[in-house]
A and B are shown apart, each in its own frame.
Chain A
């Protein structure tokens, strides 16, 4: 039964395709894809209908459906293009079969026709939708990661000393942002020393190191000093393994040490406040040094 129907459909594929293309084209005005150039729409439609027919003929062809889905996703077309297209296809095909002379189609029951058509088209819909949602999920998760890792804030600590804590992966885009923010910050806050904290950077590879070196060099050019802080032991080891030379600027293991160093560089120091010390003169003297 199914085979007979399939024969009819495959033999008359040209007519069905023609009808489908007509309907799809008239539908185009209504949908939100009317800005797509006609030529591209035409070729994609042809490909779409070819994929459907190939799937019907060979009882599902996941590879070609996947390729097609990938193409439409890359074009950025909405999922409705695919679902509408298949819906129209279903209607056109059922119409065509039902309008055949009864003895040819050899099927009494309309529901049987529907069932066969569903069996052909449902797997295609399912796969296309899966491909689509898969690509969305991927995009969302990537953007989530990107958002978390995007910022490169500059924080003024005390006069002439600023810090830039870096958290997350540094890619080319972010490296640019770091450089810009760093230089802007140095100028705006009139910094003499900038502390770059890489405690939150998971991996320091040659590219990250290269960007940090370049940033430090740029900071040096505008008359400030860069101190790299937050170098974890495993990061120190990988940097040595990679053979990266970071000797051009001072580095410290923690922010605290870096801050003390920065104070030294700006001729200041931290003085412990001793409550028992009644000698006010002494106290005032030490505050003056601050």
Chain B
């Protein structure tokens, strides 16, 4: 297991930093261009959610090797206000910030495995895994 790396999200420019780091890690791990773009887009969405709704948080990356497969785990953690209704945010078109409302459901479709945990008042953790094909 490679050492885990992470990027702190505090301002809008950190989103760029986070996804560039993610793209580099994905490139090194052997992902193709399309998957690199998917990973970078997913990170962009997650980092933006942190920036917009929680103010600050972290995006961490971990290379996973399981049963001969290689994957990248991306975890977005914040200690923001949390999400009151998890099924609602996974609906396409639901937004509280006037955006497109495609963020979280989009990230789910961009990744192979997706896990969303949130506790109101405590924070939110989103974890997604992408496998190298």
A residues sitting closer than 8 Å to B (CB atoms) are 142, 145-146, 169, 171-173, 202-207, 209-210, 213, 233-235, 237-238, 241-244
Q: 4 extra interchain contacts, Cβ-Cβ under 8 A, other than A203-B44, A207-B99? A: A205-B48, A206-B99, A206-B106, A207-B48
**Within B57-87, which residues are at the interface with A (CB < 8 Å)?**
none
Number of B interface residues in the complex (CB < 8 A): 25
With A203-B37, A205-B45 already in contact, the answer to whether A244 and B100 are too (CB < 8 A) is yes
Residue in chain B with minimal CB distance to A240: B109
Q: Is the CB–CB distance between B100 and A206 below 8 Å?
A: yes
Best-surrounded residue of A145, A172, A205 (most CB of chain B within 10 A)? A205
Contact, CB under 8 Å: B37 / A244: no
Interface SS of B by simple majority: helix
Report how far A242 CA is from B93 CA in the complex, Å. Answer: 11
Which residues of the partner chain A approach B29 to less than 8 Å between Cβ atoms? none
Q: In this assembly, does B33 line the interface, its C-beta being within 8 Å of a C-beta of chain A?
A: yes
Q: How far is the CB of A205 from chain B (nearest CB, A)?
A: 4
Task: State A237–B32 Cα separation when bound (angstroms).
Answer: 13
Residues of chain A within 8 A of B105, CB atoms compared: 243
Which residues of chain B are within 8 angstroms of A209 by Cβ–Cβ distance?
Answer: 100, 102
By beta carbon, the residue of chain A nearest B16 is: A169
Q: Which residues of B contact A146 (CB under 8 A)?
A: 13
Can you list 11 A-B pairs with a CB-CB distance of less than 8 A? A142-B13, A145-B13, A146-B13, A202-B40, A206-B99, A206-B100, A207-B99, A233-B34, A234-B37, A242-B45, A242-B102
A234-B34 CB under 8 A given contacts A210-B99, A241-B106, A243-B106: yes
- B12 in the interface, Cβ–Cβ < 8 Å? yes
User: A203's contact among B12, B40, B101, B106, by CB below 8 Å, is which?
Assistant: B40
Residues of B within 8 A of A173 (CB): 12
CB distance from B107 to the nearest CB of A (A): 8
Question: Given A171-B12, A206-B106, is A243 in contact with B92 using a C-beta cutoff of 8 Å?
Answer: yes
**4 closest A-B pairs (Cβ-Cβ)?**
A242-B106, A234-B37, A205-B44, A234-B34
**A234 and B110 contact, CB distance less than 8 A:** no
Nearest B residue to A235 via CB reads B37
Q: Of residues A146, A210, A242, which shows the largest number of chain B Cβ atoms within 10 Å of its Cβ? A: A242
Contact between chains at A206 and B34 (CB < 8 Å): no
Residues of A within 8 A of B99 (CB): 206-207, 210
Contacts of B36 in A (CB 8 A): 234
Q: Which residues of A contact B33 (CB under 8 A)?
A: 234
